[in-house]
């Protein structure tokens, strides 16, 4: 079974608007972390934001916020005031405390910001 599901292969958003990228996950480990990474066309993986399974509040980092709904097992990324430089692939990933502690990635969402 897929551990991380990103159902939006591609998204378009107008510059200065907000956009939500969806992510659902599946785990039986009570302790886990959820991460979002950005991969621009140049290829590097850039860490954006983290949410822990025990965190009571949604994480925020500048224009990025994570809408964490634990009961629904969703961890959606919200980008406010989109900029042209936000055009990239976005990956949701999970890291469980048990086992080999690898990052398990979703298939990604390609976001294109239009002027």
Partner 1 sequence: EAQVTQNPRYLITVTGKKLTVTCSQNMNHEYMSWYRQDPGLGLRQIYYSMNVEVTDKGDVPEGYKVSRKEKRNFPLILESPSPNQTSLYFCASSSRDYSNQPQHFGDGTRLSIL
Residue 76 and residue 65 in contact, taking contact as beta carbons nearer than 8 Å: no
Q: Which CB sits closer to partner 1, 51 or 82?
A: 51
Number of residues that bind partner 1 (CB under 8 A): 25
Using CB under 8 A, pick the residue from 26, 61, 102, 114 that binds partner 1: 102
Residue with tokens 């969806």: 22
Per CB under 8 A, which region of 13-21, 67-75, 80-88, 103-111 contacts partner 1? 103-111
Q: Which CB sits closer to partner 1, 16 or 101?
A: 101
Using CB under 8 A, pick the residue from 96, 109, 111, 113 that binds partner 1: 96
Per CB under 8 A, which region of 17-25, 60-68, 78-86, 95-103 contacts partner 1? 95-103
Residue 94 and residue 4 in contact, taking contact as beta carbons nearer than 8 Å: yes
Q: Using the rule CB under 8 A, is 38 a contact of partner 1? A: no
Burial of 21: CB neighbours in 10 Å, binned 0-12, 13-18, 19+: buried
Structure tokens at 35: 């991460």
Residue 46 and residue 38 in contact, taking contact as beta carbons nearer than 8 Å: yes
């Amino acid at each position: 079974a897929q551990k991380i599901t990103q159902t939006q292969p591609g998204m378009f958003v107008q510059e200065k608007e907000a956009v939500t990228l969806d992510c659902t996950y599946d785990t039986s480990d009570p302790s886990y972390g959820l991460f979002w990474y950005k991969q621009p066309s140049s290829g590097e993986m850039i860490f954006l934001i983290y949410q822990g399974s025990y965190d009571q509040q949604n994480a925020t980092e500048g224009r990025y916020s994570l809408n964490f709904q634990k009961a629904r097992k969703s961890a959606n990324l919200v980008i406010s005031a989109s900029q042209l430089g936000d055009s990239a692939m976005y990956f949701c990933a999970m890291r469980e405390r048990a086992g080999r502690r690898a990052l398990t990635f979703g298939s990604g969402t390609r976001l294109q910001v239009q002027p």
